[in-house]
């Protein structure tokens, strides 16, 4: 098996199960035209996020790492008309691209994009009494994934779900001597989860158009 096969399977399945409509395609094109890095989730991953948001019957969603808003659009489409999604992005230029994409997708009324380093924005969200969230997607600077997880967990409803992306990192997750701070952060996240009585979690390795990686999914216990 190689990357060509992984990409071909992704393409086959995505064409049938997660096809782009005009707004999703326009969002990706706008990201490319603006020179944003192509590090958004794949179409099938976007669809998975949408299914999870829907399965949770989510009203309030929190996202760390907007980029051009591709994953945000997938998730926001599973919200009811009175639902809301707060998405956090450090880069002002990326946030502008995302905001235009939300308007084109006719979702701007339910998406609140906050610009600035997420750890700082969280202080504001805390003051505002944001949450409790039904679903959180962690996909920003990977060194801070454990910090984002810790904050999110304190602001989730019982039965809520937290997904953290890019935790496997080409298999480096298993390497205790990796020396890479992003890998170390994912190892720390797993150690936190193992000791955290408020959640039950698993990690799934994935291959696809985005290569070899994986995500962690944590369910907040009801009591």
Closer residue to ligand SAM (CB): 141 or 196: 141
Closer residue to ligand SAM (CB): 40 or 50: 40
Instruction: Evaluate whether 180 touches 172 at the Cβ level (below 8 Å).
Output: yes
Q: Minimum CB separation from ligand SAM for residue 212, in Å? A: 16
Interface residues with ligand SAM (CB under 6 A)? 39-41, 65-67, 70-71, 88-91, 94, 117-118, 139-141
Closer residue to ligand SAM (CB): 181 or 222: 181
Q: Please give the Cα distance from 158 to 175 (Å, whole number).
A: 33
What's 12-56 look like in SS3?
HHHHHHCCCCHHHHHHHHHHHHCCCCCCCCCHHHHHHHHHHHHHC
Q: Minimum CB separation from ligand SAM for residue 52, in Å? A: 14
Closer residue to ligand SAM (CB): 91 or 180: 91
Closer residue to ligand SAM (CB): 86 or 199: 86
Q: Minimum CB separation from ligand SAM for residue 31, in Å? A: 8
Q: Please give the Cα distance from 97 to 52 (Å, whole number).
A: 25
Q: Please give the Cα distance from 66 to 214 (Å, whole number).
A: 19
Q: Minimum CB separation from ligand SAM for residue 136, in Å? A: 12
The answer for 174, left when phi > 0, alpha when psi is -120 to 50, beta otherwise, is alpha
Q: Minimum CB separation from ligand SAM for residue 93, in Å? A: 9
Q: Please give the Cα distance from 70 to 99 (Å, whole number).
A: 11
């Amino acid at each position: 098996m190689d990357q060509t096969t992984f990409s071909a399977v992704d393409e086959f399945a995505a064409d049938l199960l997660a096809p782009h409509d005009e707004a999703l395609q326009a969002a990706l094109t706008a990201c490319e035209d603006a020179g944003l890095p192509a590090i958004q989730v794949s179409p099938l991953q976007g669809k998975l996020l949408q299914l999870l948001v829907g399965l949770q019957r989510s009203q309030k969603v929190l996202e760390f790492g907007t980029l051009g808003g591709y994953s945000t659009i997938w998730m926001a489409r599973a919200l009811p008309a009175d639902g809301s999604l707060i998405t956090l992005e450090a880069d002002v230029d990326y946030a502008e691209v995302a905001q235009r994409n939300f308007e084109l997708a006719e979702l701007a009324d339910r998406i609140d994009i906050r610009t600035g380093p997420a750890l700082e924005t969280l202080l504001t969200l805390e003051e505002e009494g944001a949450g409790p969230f039904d679903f959180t997607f962690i996909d920003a600077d990977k060194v801070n994934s454990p910090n984002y997880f810790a904050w999110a967990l304190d602001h989730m409803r019982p039965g809520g779900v937290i997904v953290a992306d890019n935790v496997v990192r080409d298999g480096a997750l298993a390497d205790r001597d990796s020396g890479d701070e992003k890998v170390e952060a994912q190892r720390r996240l797993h150690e936190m989860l193992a000791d955290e009585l408020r959640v039950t979690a698993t990690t799934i390795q994935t291959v696809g158009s985005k290569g070899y990686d994986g995500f962690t999914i944590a369910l907040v216990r009801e009591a």
